[in-house]
């Protein structure tokens, strides 16, 4: 029986077949590329973590540099207690792997009880000194901001910082990713002389050069600067219990 290619039935059936074929093809491509996407995502995070401790790397060298400088990956509970610790290669399928914690989701999920949240922490060996790196997530003007802040072995002095964003305004809020802004955090302290957590104040109009707990805000990026300040304070308070338990001396060597 001849097929009437001009009929509505033929057009309808042909459309369904094409949708199915294209859908299967796209699913196959997506599944085929997923391991590569996961690996690229891992390398991007590795680069950000390394950036906070001053290690400049490339996507091709990120994995090797990460395992060279990052000695431990630790997972904390809400009381600042270590519940998991990992060394060696990262297993993307390991649910208890600190690196695999979705920080953007857990830190901002208001429905998840704090006692059920997990907080990753990374330990780096930089020239023999123990540097601790913590991830953080906040909100800028147009979307999420996030980053990593590294603390020296006294768990008070900032060793370095690396920030990123989803869609802040170029030339304004987006400048939180620029080196001139990130470098301002080096040497600042998050505790005052009485041992109280004061975090870092991002000041509109500029902070005094010798201010121990303040940096200059982004010109024209007040809302983004405020978002970063809120992110820093909230995250430092999350890790404060761990810092208090481990801040036993001003200099620790590995």
What is the tens place of the pLDDT at every residue in 60-82? Answer: 999 999 999 999 999 999 899 99
The dihedral sign for the CA sequence 92, 95, 99, 101: positive
- State the Cα–Cα distance between residues 126 and 177, nearest whole angstrom: 22
Q: Give the three-class secondary structure for 58.
A: coil
- pLDDT grade for 250, boundaries at 50, 70 and 90: very low
- State the Cα–Cα distance between residues 50 and 232, nearest whole angstrom: 19
pTM (global) more than 0.85: no
Q: Can you give the pLDDT at residue 67?
A: 96
Residue 136 corresponds to which tokens in the numbers above?
Answer: 């953080």
Q: Are strands 201-203 and 158-165 parallel, antiparallel or unpaired?
A: unpaired
Q: Which residues of 51-90 are buried (b: 16+ CB within 10 A; e: fewer)?
A: bbbbbebeeebbbebbeebbebbbbbbeebeeebebeeeb
- pLDDT grade for 249, boundaries at 50, 70 and 90: very low
- pLDDT grade for 24, boundaries at 50, 70 and 90: confident
- For the chain, domain boundaries: 71-246
- Is the pLDDT at 195 greater than 60? The verdict is yes
Q: Can you give the pLDDT at residue 10?
A: 62
Q: Of all residues in the chain, what percent carry a pLDDT higher than 70?
A: 85
């Amino acid at each position: 029986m001849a097929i009437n290619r001009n009929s509505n039935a033929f057009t309808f059936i042909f459309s369904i077949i094409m949708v199915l074929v294209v859908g299967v093809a796209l699913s196959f491509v997506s599944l085929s590329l997923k391991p590569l996407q996961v690996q690229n995502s891992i390398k991007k995070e590795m680069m950000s973590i390394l950036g906070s401790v001053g290690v400049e790397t490339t996507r091709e060298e990120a994995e090797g540099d990460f395992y060279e400088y990052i000695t431990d990956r630790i997972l904390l509970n809400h009381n600042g207690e270590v519940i998991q610790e990992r060394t060696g290669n990262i297993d993307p399928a390991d649910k208890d792997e600190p690196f695999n914690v979705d920080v953007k989701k857990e830190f901002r999920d208001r429905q998840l009880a704090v006692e059920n949240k997990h907080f990753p922490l990374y330990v780096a060996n930089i020239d023999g000194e123990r540097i601790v790196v913590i991830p953080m997530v906040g909100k800028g003007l147009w979307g999420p901001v996030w980053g990593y802040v590294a603390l020296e072995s006294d768990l008070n002095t900032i060793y370095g910082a690396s920030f990123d964003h989803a869609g802040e305004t170029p030339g304004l809020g987006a400048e939180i990713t620029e080196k001139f802004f990130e470098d301002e955090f080096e040497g600042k302290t998050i505790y005052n002389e009485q041992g109280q957590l004061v975090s870092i104040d991002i000041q509109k109009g500029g902070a005094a050069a010798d201010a121990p707990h303040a940096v200059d805000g982004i010109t024209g990026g007040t809302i983004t600067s405020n978002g970063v300040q809120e992110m820093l304070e909230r995250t430092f308070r999350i890790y404060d219990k761990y810092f208090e338990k481990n801040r036993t001396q001003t200099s620790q060597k590995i």
